[in-house]
Amino acid sequence: MKMMCRSFLGFLTSLPFIGSTNAEGEAEARKAASMAQLKKDGVPVIDHLPIIETVAESRRRTTDEVIQRAIALVIVAVTIG
């Protein structure tokens, strides 16, 4: 798992928009890269959705927060599904 995280982080830091001083341009570039990847994988996309936030505006979740969210989603899936 750690190797996959390092690999993904390496990929992210190689993208031209990471660390950009132009926040709006960074968000647009990230959206364009995401949309291109989804289209390449054959996933339908909605082009007119807005850009939500920049890397600087986003908040990284802690491991505990991610685990708690995953547990909550499993509970909901099991009780509803």
Residue boundaries of the structural domains of the chain: 2-80
| Residue 12 to residue 55: CA distance in whole angstroms | 11
Q: What is the pLDDT of residues 5-56, one digit of tens each?
A: 555 555 655 555 454 456 678 888 889 999 999 999 999 999 898 888 888 8
Whole-number pLDDT of residue 20 = 47
| Residues sharing a CB contact under 8 Å with residue 54, sequence separation 6 or more, in sequence order | 23, 24, 26, 27
What own/partner pairs with CB < 8 Å and gap ≥ 24 does 17-25 have? 18/55, 23/54, 23/56, 23/57, 24/51, 24/54
| Residues sharing a CB contact under 8 Å with residue 38, sequence separation 6 or more, in sequence order | 45
